[in-house]
Amino acid sequence: MEYDQLKLDQQICFPVYAASRLITKAYQPLLENLGLTYPQYLVLMVLWETDSLSVNGIAERLILNTNTITPLLKRMEAHGLLERQRSSEDERRVIIKLTDKGTELRHKAAEVPIRLMEGFSGSDLSQNEITALKETLLKMIELLK
């Protein structure tokens, strides 16, 4: 029987999976200086743009399950980066607000993506390819959501 479709090199899923982990790995030393993990950094990027979001709002933005977000936010709260407050308007909701410490990290984090992209410049990965990659991934994400 033919099994070509089961060959690892024939998969699209595997390079996405491998690239994702390698990117996270590449971020790790840069984020370690800020006392952050990669998922924590993603949460902060969301909150730096839009403070006072609900747990569900952050989960939707990051396309993560709320049962992943809740423990993540609790750890960040323990680190003094944000505060969790039950909404008085709708008691089902928990509103997440940055602390001064969480806000101030934004300044230090500003160079992180620049440093990360430095690893790609000067390579044979063109800006056009990166742009096209992102657009195709966004289409794929829409299909899979």
Partner DNA sequence: TATGAATATATCGTGCACGATAAAAAAAGT
Partner DNA sequence: ACTTTTTTTATCGTGCACGATATATTCATA
Angle of CA points 38, 44, 48, to nearest 5° = 150
* Sign of the torsion formed by the C-alpha atoms of 57, 110, 29 and 82: negative
**Considering only residues 62-81, where is the footprint of DNA by CB under 7 A?**
64-68, 70-73, 75
Query: Residue 96, class by beta-carbon neighbours within 10 Å (0-12 exposed, 13-18 middle, 19+ buried)?
Result: buried
Q: Residue 29 or 122: which CB sits closer to DNA? A: 29
Residue 86 binds a second copy, judged by CB under 8 A: no
**Complete edge-to-edge strand list for the sheet that includes strand 53-54:** 53-54, 94-98, 82-86
Nearest to 37 by CA among 67, 94, 70, 75: 75
CA dist., res. 39 & res. 121, Å (int):
25
Strand partners, 97: 83
Number of residues that bind DNA (CB under 7 A): 31
**Considering only residues 35-54, where is the footprint of DNA by CB under 7 A?**
37-40, 54
State CA 47 to chain mean position distance.
Answer: 12
Least CB distance to DNA at residue 21 (A):
4
Q: Residue 60 or 120: which CB sits closer to DNA? A: 60
- Here's the x/- map for DNA, 1-30, by CB under 7 A: it reads as ----------------x---x--xx--x--
Residues that bind DNA (CB under 7 A): 17, 21, 24-25, 28, 37-40, 54-57, 59, 64-68, 70-73, 75, 84, 89-94
Residues that bind a second copy (CB under 8 A): 1, 3, 5-8, 10-27, 42, 45-46, 48-49, 61-64, 106-107, 109-110, 112-114, 116, 119-120, 123-125, 129-130, 132-134, 136-141, 143-145
